[in-house]
Amino acid sequence: MPGSPFPAGGSPNSVTVVPSGRFAYVADVIPGGVIGYSVAQNGVVTPLPGSPFTAPTGTAFVTTDPSGRFLYALNCGAVCSGSGSGNVAAYNIDPQTGALTPIAGSPFAAGQFPYALAIDPTGHFAYVANYGSGDVYSFAIDSQSGALTQIGLPVAAGTTPLSVAVDPWGQYVYTANTGSSDISAFAINFDGSLSTVAGSPFAAGAFTTGIAASNRGKFVVVTAGPGAFVYNIDNSGALHLVPGSPFAAGLGPNGVSIDPTDSFVYIVNGGSKNVSAYHFNDGNGKLTPAAGSPFPAGTFAAGITTAPAPTHQ
């Protein structure tokens, strides 16, 4: 894009875009906070007035709810050069300006060093993977205020989970566990709580890092040291490795994103400072490198997302 790369704080680690495509937000680990941008029709981003928005120190992850009204920033505390065990900061998003204002009661407590959050497609439930305590907290989202209320007790995941995903039908939750090099799978109960899927955890590669669910709910794509591991999701939520996995990526594959049409997969590689792009066969789950891949990115590239062209009123 013209003007790229755009300034993004001291240690940008995660990026999200509202469903309309109008606003983008970056989690800045050091000094901590959320940087907001307006997105033009050509993809160029411009900092929002009032940005960066204050968050507790060690802001490692950011995402929005499906309505684009609420934003959640995870602060992983002392493990991310912040302090304490971390928490979840919640904000209202101004639909006209993109400005963030804290939600009453924020920040909300989670486990030790919360590192990733995923929201079910209805926007009713949120799931937080805690890097330090190796578990997943379940929350109900207040549809009016965006406030979080913990549901039941946390469930155990693998060692040091770094990312979490919810399938598009709101049936299952998956965590990528970098310490144990595997994937934990959970079924979502009617009240939003979680139950472990039979056979979980499922083996992956060393330093399992990122995870994304395909938009038709048939596959999850997981990044690990050797590259991209693709799994088929069966009717019980169990995972089955797709033949040909792992598909080669760059050095230190980290974040992964699947475009909304299930046509392309993108993996950001922190070690080789680039982005691997693939054609995604949503029939059999296989990945084929796109022409020109990999594409250059910045030093220690960490997070990636795909977004629609922005719609402006």
pLDDT single digits (tens) 252-289: 999 999 999 999 999 999 999 999 999 999 999 999 99
Secondary structure (3-state) at 175? strand
Share of the chain above pLDDT 70, in %: 99
Q: What confidence category does residue 108 fall into, taking pLDDT thresholds of 50, 70 and 90?
A: very high
What rounded mean pLDDT belongs to the chain?
95
Q: What is the pTM of this model?
A: 0.96
* Average pLDDT of the segment spanning 24-34: 93
pLDDT of 313 higher than 60: no
What is the DSSP annotation of 282-309? TTT--EEEPTT-SEE--TT-------PP
Position 83 scores a pLDDT of 82
Low-confidence winner among 59-68, 80-89, 192-201, 206-215 (lowest mean pLDDT): 80-89
Confidence (pLDDT) at 80: 85
| Average pLDDT for 105-130 | 97
Q: Is 88 within 8 Å of 114 (Cβ atoms)?
A: yes
Q: How far apart are CA 16 and CA 305, in angstroms?
A: 6
What integer pLDDT is reported at residue 254 of this predicted model? 94
pLDDT tens per residue, range 59-77: 999 999 999 999 999 999 8
Provide mean pLDDT across the span 80-92. 91
Distances (CA, A) of 176 to 139, 160, 196, 243: 19, 9, 14, 20
Report the pLDDT value the prediction gives residue 312, as an integer from 0 to 100: 61
Mean of pLDDT values over 163-179 = 97
Q: What is the phi/psi pair of residue 129, to 5°?
A: -90, 125
Nearest to 41 by CA among 22, 59, 61: 22
Return the pLDDT at 190: 96
The pLDDT, as a whole number, for residue 220 is 98
Query: What is the CB-side half-sphere exposure of residue 31 using CA atoms within 13 A?
Result: 3
